[in-house]
Amino acid sequence: MKNYYDDCPLAYALNIIGGKWRMLILYHLMGGGLRYNQLKKKLCGITNIMLTRSLRELEEYGLVKRIQHSEIPPHVEYFITEHAEKLVPTLMVIAEWGKEQRLLEKGE
């Protein structure tokens, strides 16, 4: 997914939040922190690998914060950061748009 980042902020952004799961993760975290398995349940169908990978990537970019409570059994919680929070309304618009789109398709 390498692209002309420097010329186009949109391409740059999509490189970070694009991909199959990343926006979905941010979307589901908007309501507050979630634990690993809670998140997994919401993202119907995601595998451990993809969830872990995606979370790590989002963490690297500072979009997600990982909080580990020192307990046994382990208790880890994920939050979105302030900066990522700015994308939430956007994601909701896209979701809303998706609903309309689906209606259009079924209407035909």
Partner DNA sequence: CTGTATCCAGTCCGATACTG
Partner DNA sequence: CAGTATCGGACTGGATACAG
Phi and psi at residue 66, to the nearest 5°: -110, 125
Site for a second copy in 27-46 (CB under 8 A): 27, 44-45
Out of DNA, a second copy, none, what residue 37 binds, judged by CB under 5 to 8 A for its kind, is: DNA
* Total residues in contact with a second copy, by rule CB under 8 A: 41
Out of DNA, a second copy, none, what residue 88 binds, judged by CB under 5 to 8 A for its kind, is: none
Chosen residue from 37, 41, 52, 97 binding a second copy by CB under 8 A: 97
> What is the bridge-based pairing of β-strands 34-35 and 75-80?
antiparallel
Out of a second copy, DNA, none, what residue 49 binds, judged by CB under 5 to 8 A for its kind, is: DNA
Buried b (16+ CB within 10 A) or exposed e, 1-34: eeeeeeeeeeeeebebbebebbbbbbbbbeeeeb
